[in-house]
Amino acid sequence: MSAIAIQRIGVVGAGQMGNGIAHVCALAGFDVLLHDIDPAKVDAALGLIERNLRRQAARGLIGEADVTKALAHVGKAADLADFKTVDFAIEAATEDEQVKRKIFKALCPHLKPEALVATNTSSISVTRLAATTDRPGKFIGMHFMNPVPVMKLVELIRGIATDEATFQAVRELTLKLGKTPTAAEDFPAFIVNRILLPMINEAVYTLYEGVGSVEAIDTAMRLGANHPMGPLQLADFIGLDTCLAVMQVLYDGLADSKYRPCPLLVKYVEAGWLGQKTGRGFYDYSGPAPVPTR
């Protein structure tokens, strides 16, 4: 099966990652069905996709005709049974292994036998997730970066059972989406998050231990390391719950104390201070400009 055979794509999960994946697939000319357990999230995602496409057009990145064509390519799937016609399905739900397993068990009976399946997990074992499906050879990790329409990289992760034909088909698909694929082995958190999340966790420890304030830490890394965004600001953008989940996967999977999640990160998540999506994390987003919370 090659990327040429992939024309219809199903996306499960209409959150930040799911709507971004649907956006780039539709813009590349693929027919896309978007599903979420909460139908209101699908409607919100479709509205966001249109706004983001128009923003791209206003900046001259795409034409107005591209906006119209892309919007015509994306639609709603009221139920997973609607995925019976898709050639490729990708799960983009919350970073929780049990949630993902439940989705794949519900999804696979509705797919045609030749359909490929991917997970957008940023840290969880692709091999374990594949084992919950009826097609581990046709299963792969396809980890997009956030925000999907902007970021160029996609990590491709083979599970132990992933067929070479599956890998090559998804690699070709990645290129058709205008992204750059990189192959990562199926180890906890893969490449990007294996390096990035411990840095963020260390920034939280630096705050926890009183070495610097939120503002001092982010300013130091922006100006001292030339990072476009400070690590605590980036954590808020990613979502502190996601940061904690990835650190827990690293800590559990590699059994090394250097990956122990910072207690302050745990406290923020327990408080429901998850970053931008809840209006409060290491910064308070309730006013006209973000204000550090510590």
185 is catalytic: no
- Each of the 294 residues of the chain gets a pLDDT tens digit; together they read 444 589 999 999 999 999 999 999 999 999 999 999 999 999 999 999 999 999 999 999 999 999 999 999 999 999 999 999 999 999 999 889 999 999 999 999 999 999 999 999 999 999 999 999 999 999 999 999 999 999 999 999 999 999 999 999 999 999 999 999 999 999 999 999 999 999 999 999 999 999 999 999 999 999 999 999 999 999 999 999 999 999 999 999 999 999 999 999 999 999 999 999 999 999 999 999 999 999
Q: Which CATH number fits domain 193-292: 3.30.420.40, 1.10.10.60, 1.10.1040.10, 3.30.2310.20?
A: 1.10.1040.10
Indicate if 155 belongs to the active site: yes
Q: Is 19 a catalytic residue?
A: no
Per-domain residue ranges for the chain? Answer: 3-184, 193-292
Per-residue confidence (pLDDT) for residue 3, from 0 to 100: 46
Determine which one of 19, 123, 125, 193 is catalytic.
193
Both tokens assigned to 286: 């309730």
For the entire predicted model, the pTM comes to 0.89
Residue 246 pLDDT: 93
Burial 127-166 (b: 16+ CB within 10 A, else e): bebbebbebbebbbbbbbbbebbeeeebbbbbbebbbeeb
* Euclidean distance between CA atoms 129 and 136, whole angstroms: 9
Q: What is the CATH architecture assignment of 3-184?
A: 3-Layer(aba) Sandwich (3.40)
Residue 202 is among the residues annotated as catalytic for this protein:
no
Task: Identify the pLDDT of residue 5.
Answer: 82
Among candidate residues 23, 35, 73, 143, the one labeled active-site is 143
Contact between residue 158 and residue 167 where contact means Cβ atoms under 8 Å apart: yes
State residue 261's pLDDT score. Answer: 98
Per annotation, catalytic residue among 120, 122, 123, 201: 122
Tokens found for residue 260: 């122990």
